Amino acid sequence: MPGRVAAGALALAMMIANLAAVAHGATTVGDPMTIVQTTVGQVLDTLQTRGMPQAERQRRVIEIVANRFDFTGMARSSLGYNWKTLAPAQQQQFVPLFTAFMEDAYLSKINDYSGQQVKFTGQSTTGDGTAEVKSVVQPSDQSQPPIHINYLLRQVDGQWKVYDVAIDEISITANYRNQFNRVIASRGFDALMSAMREKQQALHDSIGA
């Protein structure tokens, strides 16, 4: 992810380490903002558990995040119109690869946190079962502008789940969709799968998983 989207990936990890008080102080069960804050608090608790092996810490973090993100929906959205052109077998291959890619990208940023300040600024809901939770991250370098991170959630089987994240108004899934569609158009779906496997493996190796 280039530019601010890459910075936003780091900012997503920054959020983990600065919101425990807010998360544990939330009382509205099922509220979209509370869902996001509580998830962050659970991840923070895991990261602060002393003596836990790295592999175990990573496994627990992914379990927490997987329960709150609609990775299947994100995978479909990241392919846009190309999703419907794929055979069922290709769709079944893509979803777990995309999920593993996103999980390893998330884990690769966790250790980059260095005291950046985060603030939740509000939430909004619509009548069609979607919601948006807004936050702002202030980089450690005060000369840098704040990074705005908005979580987009929807009801999936009666639970609020994140289906996209917008970083400075740039959608992560839209960013991937532009990249993926270019690869498919020029080189085909198999080439996209090969490139994603290579990238996911590189991320996997970098975190020592």
Which residue's structure tokens are 């702002």? Answer: 136
**Model confidence pLDDT, tens digit, residues 84-122:** 999 999 999 999 999 998 888 877 776 665 556 678 889
**Angle made by CA atoms 199, 202, 205, in degrees to the nearest 5:** 150
pLDDT recorded at residue 63: 86
Taking the mean position of all CA atoms in its chain, how far away is CA 202? 18
Rounded to an integer, what distance in angstroms lies between the CA atom of residue 37 and that of residue 20? 8
pLDDT recorded at residue 119: 81
pLDDT recorded at residue 27: 35
pLDDT > 90 fraction of the chain, expressed in percent and rounded: 37
- Structural domains of the chain ordered from first start: 3-206 (3.10.450.710)
User: What ranges make up the beta strands (E) of 44-108?
Assistant: none
pLDDT recorded at residue 1: 43
162 with 152: CB under 8 angstroms? Answer: yes
Residues of the chain below pLDDT 70: 1-29, 110-117, 208-209
**Model confidence pLDDT, tens digit, residues 163-172:** 999 988 899 9
**Model confidence pLDDT, tens digit, residues 138-148:** 777 777 888 88
